[in-house]
Structure 1
Amino acid sequence: MNENQDQNFVKVNYNLLASPKLNSTQKLFLSYIIGWQNNNKICFETNRNLALRFGKKYGGIRSVIKDLNTFDFFKSKSKDYDETTRTSGHEITVNIDKLEKFLSTEKPIVEPTSTEEQSNNEDNSNLPEAGKIDECEFEQFPTYDLDDIVDLTKILKILDFNESDINQFIQHFQTQQVTFDSFTDYFISLKIENKTKGYKGIIISNTQAEQLEKMFSKD
């Protein structure tokens, strides 16, 4: 998209607005993408441009896209990688039919009874203090900010990819070093494509996806 926009406001569907499964930023972001689709256009922007449009920090808008990518109605595809700036744009689409199905099948949140709450508290009483396990797990993996430059071979070996998969990653980027942001964009797009019928590309396991999560800097 460019600065010559045909609209200066975002329309939000009432059913989407009422959804308890999505936060306000996600609802606004989806409505923004749908607005372009309603005008027969496809959103194609970088994280930095989107961050400016939504008044968020670079890492904040990256988090919005990453979380929405877990839903089958949302797709963000990394395209046109620029080796000079080590950045790429995103082609972002929303499958309206799948979104409407998601909104129509939402179930009301049921509050636990006092007996269930007591049972849950008893079950959790013997667990370690919150955060201790996570901190130990994070120490096993290097952490990166989105703008950090990563070596593809190094990070992929940490994630336990084989040589063939590593070569395919390098072939995609046409370089050995990329930003952590670009790497995670492509990684997530592959994970989504894994669910496509007849997919024959790089297979990403749930364990590898969980390990990547631990590499995001907590700062």
Structure 2
Amino acid sequence: MSDAVAWHDGIADRFDAAYTRARGFRERKMVWSRLISRYAPAGARVLDAGCGSGVLTAVAAEHAAHVLAVDGSAAMLDLARRRIAIEGLAHVVLRLAMIDERVLAQEAPFDLVLCSSVLEYVDDFWGTVDTLVSALAHDGMLLFSVPNSHSVYRHAERLMFRLCGWPRYRRHVRHIIALEALQRELAQRNLEVMETVYYAPAPVLSPVLRALGAARFSDTLVVLACRHRR
């Protein structure tokens, strides 16, 4: 995970700028904004686990009474601090930390836990999911995204990386898990998947496959909304 943190330190400015310049990142913000609005109860306590430059943290702060945002990248967190200060979000607490049960337990439970494009980089995927779940309130919701294993573009990307080492971020990716396997493991943890949303369009493929109702085979990311089974 330390290599992934160092990678994100190095790309922090470009990553943050992509939310304005890149279609996929703009769509990411739109999708997550809708989900946060849908699942954040009034006066919510929110955890943004792996907050990056704080874009989704700021969105969550529009709906929440308190937000704890943590990230392991100092460069990302500096950008998040700048954004939170500019927007005057005094109810947001930023912390330089990995996703660690001891850190989260200090402020748990949370009504809503966010984890966007983080779990694919961690050493222990399901151990980290369990940590996030342990921070949930009884009726809390967990929103997390992962690479879409069904994406044709993802498969081509994997082949390209094996052949020539591009794209470079792939060297830090540890987990790409099929949605069906995710759902089975979540069910074993007594978690119910309420919604799945595919997003982040692949070049060329997504416009065609979306028109055919087959976004699951083109879009590069999928977010799951889940909660304790009732």
TM-score range, shorter chain: under 0.3
More strand, by proportion: 2
Q: Please give the TM-score of this superposition, normalised by the length of structure 1.
A: 0.27
TM-score for the superposition, normalised by structure 2: 0.26
Q: Which has the larger radius of gyration?
A: 1
